[in-house]
Structure 1
Amino acid sequence: MKSKWMPLAYVFLLLLIGAAFIDLPYYVMKPGDAHELKPIVEVAGGDKDAGTLMLTTIKMGEANYISYAIASMRDYEEIVPVEEVRSPHETNEEYNVRQKYLMDNSQQNAITVAFDAAKKPYSFRYQGVFVLNVFPGMPAEGVLKAGDRIIAIDGQEFESSSQFTEYIQTKKPNDQVMITFVRNKEKMEKRIALKQFEDNSAKTGIGISLVDQKKLISKPEVKLKADSIGGPSAGLMFSLEIYNQLVEEDVAKGRRIAGTGTIAPDGIVGRIGGIAQKVVAADKAGAKIFLAPDDEITPELERKVPGIVSNYQEAVKTAKDIGTEMKIVPVRTFDEALNYLQSH
Structure 2
Amino acid sequence: MEGEKIVSEERKERRFSRTWLIAGLVIVLLLVYQIPMPYYYSQPGDAVGLNEFITVEDGTGEEGEFYLTTIRQSQANLILYAWSFLSPYRVLTPEEAVRMEGETDDDYHNRQLHAMQQSQHAATIAAYEAAGAEVHENGVLVTQFVDGMGAEEELESGDVITAVEGETIGNIDELNESLAEKEAGDYAQLSVNREGSAMELDVEMVEFPEEMNHANEPTVGLGIEFPVNQREFEPDVTMETGDIGGPSAGLMFALEMYNQLVEEDLTYGLNIAGTGSIDEEGNVGRIGGVGQKVVAADNAGIDVFFAPQDTGLSDTSDYEMAVEAAADIDTSMAIVPVLELQDAVEYLEDEG
Decide: shared fold, TM above 0.5: yes
Separation of aligned partners in 2, 1:15 and 1:168: 63
- Displacement of 1:123 in angstroms is 2.2
Taking the TM superposition and a 5 Å limit, the aligned residue runs for 1:130-141 are: 130-131=143-144
Match for 2:100 among 67, 87, 94? 87
Match for 1:339 among 321, 324, 346? 346
- Hey, what does 1:120 align to over in structure 2? 133
Q: Are 1:280 and 2:290 an aligned pair?
A: no
Give 1:252's aligned amino acid.
Answer: T
> 3-state SS of the aligned residue for 2:121?
helix
- Displacement of 1:45 in angstroms is 0.5
Separation of aligned partners in 1, 2:302 and 2:211: 52
Q: 1:240 to 1:101 in 2, by over 3 A?
A: same
Aligned length: 303
Match for 2:305 among 287, 290, 305? 290
Give 2:250's aligned amino acid.
Answer: G
> 3-state SS of the aligned residue for 1:33?
strand
Q: Are 1:61 and 2:74 an aligned pair?
A: yes
- Hey, what does 1:326 align to over in structure 2? 333
Q: Are 1:309 and 2:323 an aligned pair?
A: no
- Gap regions ≥5 residues in structure 1: 172-181, 183-192, 303-307
Q: Deviations over 1:93-135 (max 9, x none)?
A: 1111111111111111111111111111112444544349x9x
Q: 1:267 to 1:196 in 2, by over 3 A?
A: closer
Instruction: State the superposition RMSD in angstroms.
Output: 3.7
Separation of aligned partners in 2, 1:117 and 1:224: 19
8 Å CA contact retained: 1:129, 1:212 = yes
8 Å CA contact retained: 2:305, 2:333 = yes
> 3-state SS of the aligned residue for 1:244?
helix
Separation of aligned partners in 2, 1:74 and 1:82: 20
Q: 1:291 to 1:10 in 2, by over 3 A?
A: same
- Displacement of 1:233 in angstroms is 0.6
Match for 2:114 among 81, 95, 101? 101
- TM-score normalised according to structure 1 size: 0.76
Q: Deviations over 1:128-186 (max 9, x none)?
A: 44349x9xxx879xxx9xxx94859xxx9998585999899826xxxxxxxxxx9xxxx
- Hey, what does 2:28 align to over in structure 1? 15
Separation of aligned partners in 2, 1:26 and 1:13: 24
Structure 1 or 2, whichever has the larger Rg, is 2
Separation of aligned partners in 2, 1:216 and 1:227: 22
Q: 1:42 to 1:312 in 2, by over 3 A?
A: same
> 3-state SS of the aligned residue for 2:143?
strand
- Displacement of 1:293 in angstroms is 0.4
Match for 1:244 among 253, 259, 282? 259
Q: 1:164 to 1:13 in 2, by over 3 A?
A: farther
- Hey, what does 2:275 align to over in structure 1? 260
Q: Are 1:170 and 2:184 an aligned pair?
A: yes
- Hey, what does 1:77 align to over in structure 2? 90
- Gap regions ≥5 residues in structure 2: 1-12, 186-193, 195-205
Separation of aligned partners in 2, 1:69 and 1:87: 25
> 3-state SS of the aligned residue for 2:102?
coil
- Hey, what does 1:40 align to over in structure 2? 53
Deviates more, 1:65-74 or 1:229-238: 65-74
- TM-score normalised according to structure 2 size: 0.74
Give 2:38's aligned amino acid.
Answer: P
